């Protein structure tokens, strides 16, 4: 029995190594060089067409905005799953704030002092990355993730669950509605003013802020739900 298991294990290792070698061999020797029509189309004149200086922002907010819509839907569905398909909703009702527990977790003076100094700068760089997402590297997803680290540091300093997650979830649903309606009206139905230079960049900043806030609330909900059950 044990020797068959060992043989199967070695067989699996050989299978993985063989597969990797076959794929690398095919990739190095027989990969076809294809033209890049999409890249040529997207990088030809994106500043005039979309008002974004960052080509990636131009792609995910204007040329391929469907991707962003369904990605936002996907994140929202996973957040709803994390909240609802959870075994310990009973635990949430039983939870009480315990002073001794709080003091035990809260014993690192260095972390508290440093986080107190860093906290406003984290918020600042998150907002900067969101708002400048269309002229420089960055955008809604990255800035939202940085904003969510601000709440995570809040948990390190003040490990309590008085944050209103229901409010955050409702906010996320409203933001998703706004994320769907804005490109439908502006990009698909072309409800644009005659001079689109200003309105394009307003659209970019608005969409980046919406996506940033949505990613922020989604990641915070996921983090707080997971950390809620720690030690159980």
- Using CB under 8 A as the criterion, which residues of the chain lie in contact with other proteins when the complex forms? 9, 12-13, 15-17, 19-20, 23-24, 27, 36, 38-39, 42-43, 47, 53-56, 58-60, 64, 67-68, 71, 74-75, 77-79, 81-82, 85-88, 135-137, 139, 141, 215, 219, 222, 225-226, 229
In the complex with other proteins, which residue's Cβ is closer, 121 or 229?
229
Instruction: Please say which residue, 26 or 202, places its beta carbon nearer to other proteins.
Output: 26
Q: 139 with 130: CB under 8 angstroms?
A: yes
Q: In the complex with other proteins, which residue's Cβ is closer, 85 or 117? A: 85
Q: Which two tokens stand for residue 62?
A: 């204007």
Residue whose CB is less far from other proteins, 54 or 217: 54
Query: Shortest Cβ distance from residue 74 to other proteins (Å)?
Result: 5
What is the closest distance, in whole angstroms, from the C-beta atom of residue 152 to other proteins in the complex? 14
Residue 212: Cβ-neighbour burial (10 angstroms; 0-12, 13-18, 19+): buried
Nearer to other proteins (CB atom), residue 119 or residue 161: 161
Tell the smallest beta-carbon distance from residue 153 to other proteins (Å). 19
What's the chain's length in residues?
232
CB of 12 to other proteins, least distance (A): 5
Shortest distance, CB of residue 229 to other proteins, whole angstroms? Answer: 7
- Enter the DSSP assignment of 97: -
Contact 218, 172 (CB under 8 A): yes
Contact 94, 161 (CB under 8 A): no
Least Å distance between CB 107 and other proteins? 27
Count of beta carbons in the 10 Å neighbourhood of residue 147:
23
Between 47 and 185, whose beta carbon lies closer to other proteins? 47
Measured CA to CA in angstroms, residue 60 lies from 43, 67, 110, 139 at distances of: 13, 7, 41, 10
Q: How far is CA 205 from CA 42, 132, 133, 199, 229, in A?
A: 20, 8, 8, 10, 37
């Amino acid at each position: 029995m044990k020797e068959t298991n060992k043989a199967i294990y070695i067989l699996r290792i050989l299978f993985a190594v063989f597969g990797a070698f076959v794929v690398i061999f095919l990739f190095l020797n027989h990969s076809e060089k294809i033209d890049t029509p999409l890249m040529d189309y997207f990088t030809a004149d994106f500043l005039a067409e979309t008002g974004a200086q960052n080509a990636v922002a131009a792609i995910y907010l204007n040329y391929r905005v469907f991707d962003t819509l369904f990605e936002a839907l996907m994140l929202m569905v996973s957040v709803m799953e994390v909240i609802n398909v959870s075994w310990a909703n009973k635990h949430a009702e039983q939870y009480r704030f315990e002073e001794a527990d709080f003091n035990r977790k809260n014993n690192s003076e260095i972390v508290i002092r440093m986080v107190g100094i860093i906290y406003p700068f984290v918020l600042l760089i998150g907002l900067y990355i969101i708002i400048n997402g269309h002229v420089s590297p960055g955008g809604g997803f990255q800035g939202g993730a940085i904003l969510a680290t601000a709440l995570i540091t809040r948990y390190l300093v003040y490990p309590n669950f008085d944050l209103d997650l229901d409010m955050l979830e409702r906010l996320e649903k409203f933001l998703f509605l706004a994320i769907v309606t804005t490109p439908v009206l502006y990009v698909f139905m072309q409800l644009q003013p005659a001079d689109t230079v200003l309105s394009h960049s307003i659209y970019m900043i608005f969409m980046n802020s919406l996506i940033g806030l949505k990613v922020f609330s989604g990641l915070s909900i996921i983090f707080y739900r997971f950390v809620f059950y720690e030690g159980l």
